[in-house]
Amino acid sequence: MPKSFLPDAGLVFDMLLKRDKFVPHPGGLSSLFFAFADLVIHSCFNTRPTDYTINDSSSYLDLSPLYGSSQKQVDSIRVKDGFGKIYNDTFADARLLMMPPSVCSLLIIFGRNHNYVAQKIYEINENGTYRDPKTQSDAEKAAQDEEIFQRSRLVNSGYFMKVILGDYVGAILGLVRDGSAWRLDPLATMRELDHEFAPQGEGNVCSVEFNLMYRWHASTSQPDEHWTQAAFKRIFGDKGGAGLWAEARARGGGGRGKRDRDLRTSEESALRVKGTVPGAGSTA
């Protein structure tokens, strides 16, 4: 279909998507639910900008926004001092810096949980094999750090999965509101309509419609709305969307500029962490 036949994008938004007023969720659902949903979808999908057919993440719920989807990303957040910890209040996926602060704050909680688990694993020292890194050779310290890190990562990812199945999916299905104890079991054997076993471990794909819906624009809370408007005004001034788009096209870009990959020193990351976290109110 020729582009000239398509309706104006601004008109479509105003007629179909723009809300007239804020309506609290009838079940009292907090917008932190949607912040957590951002972590879920960013764990499953990381579309490569240069090739939309490639997903750079594992497509599984493995906390890749925290740990990364490549060895280089994983190494960027690890302290590697023999205790298996990651740098305080950092995460590997820079895409989350484009999300509301509540999303980054939730991810930081999981990062702190990793370090808590790593500390407990080292202190319990179940098999008596862990020693003070100061008394170890470089090779011994690296091996101990790797073991504690991977065990902590596994525990943390399992905790992430339990939150998803117990609280997140439970909220979607109304189980939390209704007080139902039933929960989805992803390890259960399922059958297709033809009674054949449903395949497992084949990755995830999503439709364009799901992609648009899962952005949760319609469920933006009032605190997030005000924060986003203030952030845009601080960064872009009084320029409208059309002016910003024209500037981006003039620079020959689609808005994907270079970023500081070291989130320990990124000024933008620091502002995210130190800012007030919106999103505690109910959302539509």
Amino acid (one-letter) located at 259: R
DSSP-assigned letter for residue 53: E
Q: What's the rounded Cα separation, in Å, for the pair 131 and 147?
A: 13
- Contact residues for 147 (Cβ-Cβ < 8 A; gap 6+): 84
Q: What's the rounded Cα separation, in Å, for the pair 216 and 17?
A: 11
Amino acid (one-letter) located at 161: M
Catalytic entry in 42, 195, 217, 226: 42
- In the residue annotation, 42 being an active-site residue is answered as yes
Task: Give the helix ranges, DSSP H, for the chain.
Answer: 9-12, 32-44, 64-67, 71-77, 101-124, 138-163, 169-172, 175-178, 208-213, 222-236, 241-250, 267-274
Active-site residue list: 42
